[in-house]
Structure 1
């Protein structure tokens, strides 16, 4: 997604700045197609509900739009131009794709929207997928949690990341992987869609708290290790047209680890706040339902009691 991996090295890019994050923008085909179709179909669904007089929460639409905007910016803006030039920029992209995008899209509740607007046959297909054994396995919270915390270690401490720096296909699949694994973790926990992996709010909060130390530990490990992630890739860039402005690879790796640590904690706290608000709202709705049930029982009892 985005710039060709090797093309960036041959021509080089200007020193990183807020201006170059805009000027290095490209119309990458795959992110553009995915974004346009996702936003377009979601908009059609919302309009379909409004035409028949049903309401759709504005907050869900905003969340979906924010998630797709973050996805497109991370894969097509200047961030994508520098993601193989500076490990620190890649780490920003990593956090956006693995945390911000899945969290926002989950809050957009696209499955619920689809179930309310699709014709009968596609709706049955979607329900069959949701009730399939594969969906139940992939949305099993402990498994999703394990994949979510192990994936970054597998990415940065195996040959996978090295391959993504030289192979455009592997590079694109890495982006897809980050979004999918993040979605598997966030969707059953914070989303409002009827997925098979939904668990109680206390357990959701527990899983959220457990993710924070893993991001911090990985960030500190990256900051402290002597071996450079990517091997000779980043030092070799100093021999080309970008050598005059590129920072020391060791210092950039320390910055990348700090970004992973700090951004992980920040998004984790936001995630925790969202879960807490959802928990409070669910408790209030449950209390209202209980009050209505007690009122009905009291009314029925009064009707059965003979007047004195």
Structure 2
């Protein structure tokens, strides 16, 4: 990878001033937000209601995606492992969770013309979709892929090759979406399971982030050590902290942020479970009332 001619020391200010005009994230963000807004507008024109919370969730998810791939997080993600780890958590947890709560598939099914809607339904009912959304498989990919990223040559390759680096971002969002969409999403996707099993999967993910964070924090081998040592020999990088200290910070970020976002994930899932139970109780009350009126008649 070609090194930049030095960067300013990392600070809260540079996280907001070191923006990059990255074409792919910009195009993805603009099109995703624009198409979603068009779908919501189409529903409103025909008098249908679309929950504001879903639109907010989608907006938060896309804003987090653009922030992670174009702001100072992207500018420093190959300079400091700790910054990369913060970016990793945003792309693998915050973005997929927010997008899942935006219910994009439901919006598309309600607004697409007949033929594109039929194509989308065909994809949703395909064998590939059923395999990819199989909860144990999605869970396995979600918890094991970070280990593969940091304990194989994948992370070193992402530091050396920009294309691999961009594909790593895509992978984090894609695997996170495979895991979150069937569990907290509202969309009618294959692989959806009952709320008790969803809670179980949520609880099972928490130790994996913590264990990986502790492992990175305490290990003697340096992740991307050759890259970070070479970087410190370049002009304009004298401000960089000790490599091992930065790796310890990265492990702490993975541990703490994983638990924090996991807790938010658990709360969202619990609220959905309570709401589903209340709706089921209301349906049962209406059914019993109907039976009572029919019996009285």
TM-score norm. by structure 2 comes to 0.99
Say whether 1:40 aligns with 2:38.
no
In structure 1, runs of 5+ residues without a counterpart are 304-308
2:193 pairs with 196, 199, 202, which one?
199
* Structure 2 residue aligned with 1:177: 171
* Structure 2 residue aligned with 1:306: none
**Larger CA deviation: 18-27 vs 154-163:** 18-27
- Quickly say closer, same or farther: Cα 1:10–1:26, change in 2 above 3 A: closer
Task: Quote how far apart the aligned CAs of 1:172 are.
Answer: 0.3
Say whether 1:69 aligns with 2:67.
no
1:296 pairs with 287, 290, 294, which one?
290
* Structure 2 residue aligned with 1:232: 226
In structure 2, runs of 5+ residues without a counterpart are none
Say whether 1:132 aligns with 2:126.
yes
Say whether 1:109 aligns with 2:103.
yes
The residue matched to 1:244 in structure 2 has which SS? Answer: coil
1:223 pairs with 205, 217, 226, which one?
217
* Structure 2 residue aligned with 1:245: 239
Cα deviation, 1:8-42, whole Å, max 9, x if unaligned, reads x2312100011111221011100000000000000
Give the distance between the partners of 1:152 and 1:12, measured in 2 at CA. Answer: 29
Give the distance between the partners of 1:243 and 1:40, measured in 2 at CA. Answer: 39
Structure with higher Rg: it is 1
* Structure 1 residue aligned with 2:180: 186
Say whether 1:118 aligns with 2:112.
yes
Give the distance between the partners of 1:274 and 1:42, measured in 2 at CA. Answer: 22
The residue matched to 2:160 in structure 1 has which SS? Answer: coil
* Structure 1 residue aligned with 2:80: 86
2:204 pairs with 210, 217, 227, which one?
210
Give every structure 1 segment of 4 or more consecutive aligned residues whose post-TM-superposition deviation is greater than 4 Å: none
Cα deviation, 1:252-281, whole Å, max 9, x if unaligned, reads 000000000000000000000000000000
1:163 pairs with 135, 157, 160, which one?
157
Say whether 1:13 aligns with 2:7.
yes
Give the distance between the partners of 1:263 and 1:285, measured in 2 at CA. Answer: 33
* Structure 1 residue aligned with 2:19: 25
The residue matched to 1:10 in structure 2 has which SS? Answer: coil
Task: Quote how far apart the aligned CAs of 1:241 are.
Answer: 2.0
Cα RMSD, aligned residues only: 0.7
Task: Quote how far apart the aligned CAs of 1:206 are.
Answer: 0.3
Give the distance between the partners of 1:149 and 1:214, measured in 2 at CA. Answer: 6
Task: Quote how far apart the aligned CAs of 1:284 are.
Answer: 0.1
The count of residues paired between Structure 1 and Structure 2 equals 297
TM-score norm. by structure 1 comes to 0.95
1:281 pairs with 271, 275, 290, which one?
275
**Larger CA deviation: 291-300 vs 234-243:** 234-243
Give the distance between the partners of 1:160 and 1:230, measured in 2 at CA. Answer: 10
